[in-house]
Amino acid sequence: MFQLDGKVAVVTGAGSGIGEAIAALFARQGARVAVLDVDEAAGQRTVETIRGAGGRAQAWACDVRLASQVRSVFDAVAGALGSVDILVNNAGIPHVGSLESTTEADFDRIYQVNVKGVFLCAQAAISQMLHKGTGVILNVASIISLIGIPDRFAYAMSKGAVLTMTMSIAVDYMKKVRCNCICPARVHTPFVDRYLAQNYPGREPEMFQKLSVYQPMGRMGNPEEVAYLALYLCSDESSFITGQAFPIDGGVLVT
């Protein structure tokens, strides 16, 4: 069960955190993985880890905001690994701020990566999938797509768009391509550690605990837990599921 043998999987933002965990797990399950990240060195480190464990992967530097670069990279993936069977749209950036404190530049920056990037990568993948007659797109949204969280105006906007793009893709390509999204609450990634060091120097343990207990289970998730949900939704075992949002939230939605 949950094998991806013979599949070509593209994972964006796979240089660290959730994307890295998804790429590594998919490779362990037999996929040929295209590791995309704006940080070429980070992407290459993920590939080296995968290859060290006996998996197959190749890295490409990709800025998901740039249409010409996205198209070029997806063409290169098809030439090197084969046409795309699975796309995981994981690349994204955060922002803290309310409507009043969010600048136009902040808003545009979040939109370019978190919304336009998902659009461009899905658009580049869909033509390859339709040519094969099948495929899976999995978008990484957020629990914030489903509930309100203070001081996350622009980020909430972007992840809400990811949720509705997911449903639109599912409806438009119902007979050939499945599309779902996952909605994590807080997950302990390198970003969290950097955020705490930059914004709460000397108070990192205190603030880490505060962020952790937001989840009723009393801790953050870890990237591997998200990766296992991604594996299910991209495997043939979930072949009757499309257009859905899957929270992975440590109990946030039930309290």
* pLDDT confidence of residue 212: 96
Domains of the chain, by residue range, sit at 8-185+223-250, 189-220
pLDDT tens digit string along 45-102?
999 999 999 999 999 999 999 999 999 999 999 999 999 999 999 999 999 999 999 9
Of 111, 155, 173, 200, the catalytic one is 155
* pLDDT confidence of residue 255: 87
Level-2 CATH architecture, domain 8-185+223-250: 3-Layer(aba) Sandwich (3.40)
- Confidence class of residue 204 from pLDDT cuts 50, 70 and 90? very high
* pLDDT confidence of residue 198: 85
Contact in structure between 133 and 232 (CB atoms under 8 Å)? no
Q: Please state, in angstroms and rounded to a whole number, the distance separating the CA atoms of residues 229 and 73.
A: 26
- Here the contacts of 16-19 (C-beta below 8 Å, separation 24 or greater) are 16/42, 16/46, 16/189, 16/190, 16/191, 17/187, 17/189, 17/190, 17/191, 17/223, 18/90, 18/140, 18/184, 18/187, 18/189, 18/223, 18/226, 18/227, 19/46, 19/88, 19/90, 19/91
In angstroms, the Cα distances linking 13 to 91, 117, 168, 177, 232 are 4, 11, 23, 22, 20
pTM above 0.85, yes or no: yes
* pLDDT confidence of residue 18: 98
Query: Is 41 a residue whose pLDDT tops 90?
Result: yes
155: annotated active-site residue = yes
* pLDDT confidence of residue 191: 86
Average pLDDT, the chain: 97
Query: Is 199 a residue whose pLDDT tops 90?
Result: no
Query: Is 195 a residue whose pLDDT tops 90?
Result: no
